[in-house]
Chains A and B, each alone.
Chain A
Amino acid sequence: MAAALTNQLHALVNNMFATGLLDEQFQQLQMLQDSSAPDFVSEVVTLFCDDGERIIGELARQLDQPNVDFDRVDSFAHQLKGSSASVGAQQVKNTCIQFREFCQQRSRDGCLKTLDLVRTEFYDLRNKFQVMLQLEKQIQACYPKH
Chain B
Amino acid sequence: MDAATAFPYGLRVLVVDDDPTWLKILEKMLRKCSYEVTTCGLARVALDILRERKNKFDIVISDVNMPDMDGFKLLEHIGLEMDLPVIMMSIDGETSRVMKGVQHGACDYLLKPVRMKELRNIWQHVYRKKMHEVKEIEGHDSCDDLQILRNGFEGLDDKSLFMRSDSDTMRKRKDFVNAVNQIGFDKVGPKKILDLMNVPGLTRENVASHLQKYRLYLSRLQKQNEERILGAARQDFSHKGTSENLNLRSSFQEQPSNIPNGYPHASQNIQTQANMQDSQLEDTKSTVPLPLPDKKEVYMEGDGRDFSDVKPSLMDCIKSTSLALTCTVDSISVQLSDSGTTSADGDLKFSSVDGLSSIKNCCFDQINSQGPLRPSQEPSIIGCTELASLPDDQPGYPYPLQGVSFDNIPLSSFDFSHYNDATMILSGLQNNWYDDDLEFSSETMDYPLIDGRLFA
Contacts and interface: CB of A to CB of B under 8 A. Distances in A.
B97 to A, nearest CB: 12
A85 B20 contact: no
Interface string B109-135: 000110110000000000000000000
Interface in A75-116: 75, 78-79, 81-83, 85-88
Contacts of B112: 82, 85-86
Given A83-B21, A86-B21, 5 more contacts: A29-B25, A32-B28, A78-B91, A82-B91, A88-B113
Interface of A: 25, 28-29, 32, 36-37, 40, 43-44, 47-48, 51, 75, 78-79, 81-83, 85-88
B21 A81 contact: no
Contacts of A83: 19, 21-22
Contacts of A28: 113, 115-116
Contacts of A51: 19-21
> Which 9 pairs show the lowest CB-CB distances between chains A and B?
A86-B21, A82-B91, A47-B21, A25-B113, A48-B21, A86-B22, A32-B28, A47-B20, A85-B91
Interface in B1-53: 18-22, 24-25, 28-29, 31-32
Contacts of B22: 82-83, 86
A78 B19 CA distance: 11
A86 B113 contact: yes
B112 to A, nearest CB: 6
Contacts of B92: 78
A88 B21 CA distance: 11
Contact of B24 (A36, A47, A75, A81): A47
B65 interface: yes
Contacts of A43: 24
Nearest to B89: A82
B113 A32 contact: no
Contacts of A75: 65
Interface in B385-412: none
Given A28-B113, A86-B112, A37 B28 contact: yes
